[in-house]
Amino acid sequence: MSHEPARYDLFSRLLHWGIAAVMIYVMIVGYSLHFMTDARIFAFFSVTNMSLALVLTPLMAARFIWRFFRPKVPYGDMLQGHQKGLVHLLHEIFYLLIFVVLLSGFLMLEHGFAVFGAIDFPRPIANLDVNRFFFAVHRYACIALSAMIVLHVAAVIKHHCFARQAILRRML
C-alpha cells in the first residue's frame, strides 16, 4: 500500500485556488481598464488591481517555496515519460510568467498608490523610460500568461473530461 497522497495538501490547494481566482480577476480587470472612460471608476479599479497584485506577490512567493517542501503527489498512470517532463517545464514557465507579470506591474508604475486606499506604496523606479519599458514587458507577459492559463485549463479539461483521468481531483 502506497503512502503517497492522492491529492495536494490543504495549504497547497488553498494557495492554488485563491491565487487563481484573484489572478483571473486582476487580469480581467486589467484588460478592462483600457475601456474605462470615467476617471474615478478607472482609478478605483486600477488601485484595487494594484493592491490585489501586492497581496498576490508574497502569496506566490510562498506557493513557489512551499512546493519544495510539500508532499509529492504522483501522477500515476495519468502521465508517462516525456509528458511528465513537459508538465514540469510548463509549470516552471507558468511560475516565471506570474512573477514577471507581478514584478513588471510594479516596475511600470509612473506614480505611487494607496494600497486599498489606506497605505502609501511609492513608485519603485522614478525613471519614465524604465517605467515604459516595464509597461511593455507587463503587457506581453500578461498576454503570455493568459495563453498559459487557457492551456492549463484546456489540459485539465482534456485529462478530466475526455481521458477520464483523476488529474483534477489532485487539486480539489
pLDDT by residue (tens digit) across 110-151? 999 999 999 999 999 999 999 999 999 999 999 999 999 999
Full domain range(s) for residue 113:
8-168
Q: Is 23 exposed, middle or buried (0-12, 13-18, 19+ CB in 10 A)?
A: buried
Q: Is residue 1 part of a domain?
A: no
Cβ(62)–Cβ(15) under 8 Å?
yes
How many structural domains compose the chain? 1
Q: Is residue 164 part of a domain?
A: yes
Chain centroid, CA 36 distance in Å:
24
Cell of 73: 503527489
Q: Which residue has the cell 487539486?
A: 171
Cβ(48)–Cβ(32) under 8 Å?
no
Cβ(45)–Cβ(30) under 8 Å?
no
* Residue stretches of the chain with pLDDT short of 50: 1
Nearest Cα to Cα of residue 167 among 39, 45, 78 = 78
pLDDT at 72: 87
Q: Is residue 2 part of a domain?
A: no
Cell of 123: 513608485
Compute the C-alpha angle 158/151/5, nearest 5°: 60
d(C-alpha 167, C-alpha 156), whole Å:
7
Q: Is residue 78 part of a domain?
A: yes
pLDDT at 172: 86
Assign residue 151 the CATH number of its domain. Answer: 1.20.950.20
| Entry pTM | 0.90
Q: Is residue 3 part of a domain?
A: no
